[in-house]
Amino acid sequence: MRLLVLPGDGIGPEITSATQAVLRAASKRFDLGLEMDEHDVGHASLRQHGTTVRPELLDLARTADGVMLGPTATFDFKDEAKGQINPSKFFRKELDLFANVRPARTYPGMKSPVEDFDLVVVRENTEGFYADRNMEQGNGEILVTPDVVISLRRITRQCCERIAEAACALAARRRKRLTVVHKANVLKIGDGMFLDICRATVARYPGIEMDAVIVDAMMAHVVRHPSRYDVIVTTNMFGDILSDLTAELSGSLGLGGSLNAGATHAMAQAAHGSAPDIAGQDVANPFSLILSAVLLLDWHGERHQAARFGEAARAIETGITQAIAAGKATRDVGGTLGTAAVGEALAALIAN
Ligand code: ATP
């Protein structure tokens, strides 16, 4: 398995290095033949090459078996003409990574503000309210006059169909419950179509139970009873917000792993940002990126029908559960170790 590794900004390099230590140990034990090809993106690349993402990285991403992207300083990158491209948007759009899969769960031994739960948010990733990706050319946000802004939201049948299909396939492998989160009472046409397509897709999956919840009500429901939910499917921006909430409910944003998956490519990426407030202090939780890598191993294993990738993924997940219970984790999840030591401890656990 050949991975393109892009450490990114802020805490990116620290959590990437810890993740690589874990992946090396998993590769050795499960014979994954993992090769990691590392390149700069974000500020490091802007300083060195005048752009946050060199175009040749796209070819490398296309020919690799997967991409691992650390968080980048998205907020700093405002002007594409000055080479300030949002790397996350770039790869999601260019590789057509339409499904953003974001699991969230509680762990034994860790204080959580809510009851135990285990759910996955499946978020559409290529259109919706995202002004930087819903146009062929130009941008979906328009300054009409200095005091008037119009933001366009794009919803297409094809994108609704493929995200509904991805969510149903996942629900069929889990507890067979699908919750569609929408705002069809206000966005009647766009979210109405999304909801209809989800219903039609579920009808082709016998045994899956579906319910539909309006996004604002969902914020209360998921905080009150997260254990009710299994797979949640929603449009781009609702999924972005909801999945940060579910990651935080699990105890820390530092547990928020995510995969951006398309038909032929996938990119592991932590759900959180570059956390400049804690960068360079060896305190960032690397589990978010390690859990993202776990999703990538599963995706690759399923695609190539190679069980050892799934076995490696399960061993890493079990290791994380044990590490949290034993306090061999960072302070945000009740542990006492630094970022690098967490990676080393987990790698040692997997090696044995
Ligand atoms: P950006 O501008 O890149 O989005 P941000 O700091 O605004 O960065 P996040 O990176 O998502 O947004 O961070 C939100 C909060 O969560 C911060 O206080 C940060 O320190 C904390 N946080 C995020 N990721 C982690 C992590 N892996 N481990 C520990 N704390 C984290």
Amino acid at 23: L
Least confident of 51-65, 135-149, 300-314: 135-149
Q: Which residue CA neighbors atom 9 of ligand 1 most closely?
A: 273
pLDDT at 130 over 90: no
Query: Two tokens at 55?
Result: 């175009």
Are 190 and 278 contained in the same domain? no
CATH number at residue 143: 3.40.718.10
- Predicted pLDDT at 87: 95
Confirm or reject: Cβ of 278 under 6 Å from ligand 1.
yes
Are 241 and 276 contained in the same domain? no
pLDDT at 327 over 80: yes
Q: Is 216 a catalytic residue?
A: yes
Q: How many domains does the chain have?
A: 2
Residue found by looking up tokens 């285990």 in the block: 118
3-state helix, strand, coil in the chain (%, to 5): 45, 15, 35
Confirm or reject: Cβ of 86 under 6 Å from ligand 1.
no
- Predicted pLDDT at 257: 95
Looking at the CA of residue 278, tell me the nearest atom of ligand 1.
20
Q: State the Rg of the chain over Cα.
A: 20
- Per-residue pLDDT band for 88 (boundaries 50, 70, 90) equals very high
- Predicted pLDDT at 132: 73
Confirm or reject: Cβ of 284 under 6 Å from ligand 1.
yes
Looking at the CA of residue 284, tell me the nearest atom of ligand 1.
28
- Predicted pLDDT at 341: 98
Whether residue 257 is contained in a domain is answered as: no
Centre of ligand 1 to C-alpha 218, Å, is 24
pLDDT at 113 over 90: no
pLDDT at 192 over 80: yes
Q: Is 277 a catalytic residue?
A: no
**Predicted confidence (pLDDT) per residue in 225-237, tens digit:** 999 999 999 999 9
Centre of ligand 1 to C-alpha 193, Å, is 34
Confirm or reject: Cβ of 273 under 6 Å from ligand 1.
yes
Looking at the CA of residue 270, tell me the nearest atom of ligand 1.
27
- % of residues, the chain, pLDDT over 90: 90
* Chain mean pLDDT for the chain: 95
Q: Is 240 a catalytic residue?
A: yes
DSSP letter string, 147-189? TEEEE--B--HHHHHHHHHHHHHHHHHTTSEEEEEE-TTTSTT
Annotated catalytic residue within 107, 244, 298, 328: 244
Are 33 and 86 contained in the same domain? yes
- In sequence order, the β-bridge partners of residue 179 are 211, 232
Are 124 and 202 contained in the same domain? yes
Confirm or reject: Cβ of 275 under 6 Å from ligand 1.
yes
- Stretch 147-151: mean pLDDT: 95
Annotated catalytic residue within 107, 130, 229, 298: 130
Query: Two tokens at 352?
Result: 């044995």
Confirm or reject: Cβ of 243 under 6 Å from ligand 1.
no
Are 270 and 308 contained in the same domain? yes
Give the Cβ contact number of residue 350 at 10 Å.
22
What is the C-alpha to C-alpha distance for residues 155 and 101, in angstroms, rounded to an integer? 19
Q: Which of 72, 89, 18, 76 is nearest to 273 (CA)?
A: 72
Instruction: Give yes or no for a contact between 127 and 156, defined as CB atoms under 8 angstroms apart.
Output: yes
Whether residue 42 is contained in a domain is answered as: yes
- Predicted pLDDT at 140: 87
Q: What are the strands, taking DSSP E only, across 256-300?
A: 259-261, 266-269
Pocket test for ligand 1, best of 11, 75, 253, 288 (most atoms within 8 A of CB): 253
Confirm or reject: Cβ of 274 under 6 Å from ligand 1.
yes
pLDDT at 323 over 80: yes
Centre of ligand 1 to C-alpha 70, Å, is 12
- Per-residue pLDDT band for 134 (boundaries 50, 70, 90) equals confident
Task: Collapse the DSSP code of 119 into the 3-class scheme (helix H, G, I; strand E, B; otherwise coil) and give the result.
Answer: strand
pLDDT at 214 over 90: yes
Are 124 and 177 contained in the same domain? yes
- Stretch 203-231: mean pLDDT: 97
- In sequence order, the β-bridge partners of residue 148 are 145
Are 230 and 331 contained in the same domain? no
Task: Give me the domain span that covers residue 213.
Answer: 113-249
Domain boundary among 201, 219, 249: 249
- Per-residue pLDDT band for 110 (boundaries 50, 70, 90) equals confident
Domain boundary among 219, 249, 279: 249
Q: Which residue CA neighbors atom 14 of ligand 1 most closely?
A: 275
Whether residue 108 is contained in a domain is answered as: no
- % of residues, the chain, pLDDT over 70: 100
What is the C-alpha to C-alpha distance for residues 93 and 262, in angstroms, rounded to an integer? 10
Whether residue 256 is contained in a domain is answered as: no
What is the C-alpha to C-alpha distance for residues 89 and 85, in angstroms, rounded to an integer? 8
Looking at the CA of residue 76, tell me the nearest atom of ligand 1.
2
pTM surpassing 0.75?
yes
Residue 314 contacts by C-beta under 8 Å, 6 or more apart in sequence? none
Are 242 and 120 contained in the same domain? yes
- Predicted pLDDT at 47: 96
Confirm or reject: Cβ of 332 under 6 Å from ligand 1.
yes
Instruction: Give yes or no for a contact between 121 and 243, defined as CB atoms under 8 angstroms apart.
Output: yes
Looking at the CA of residue 273, tell me the nearest atom of ligand 1.
10
- Stretch 42-59: mean pLDDT: 97
pLDDT at 213 over 80: yes
Confirm or reject: Cβ of 289 under 6 Å from ligand 1.
no
Least confident of 31-35, 67-71, 113-117: 113-117
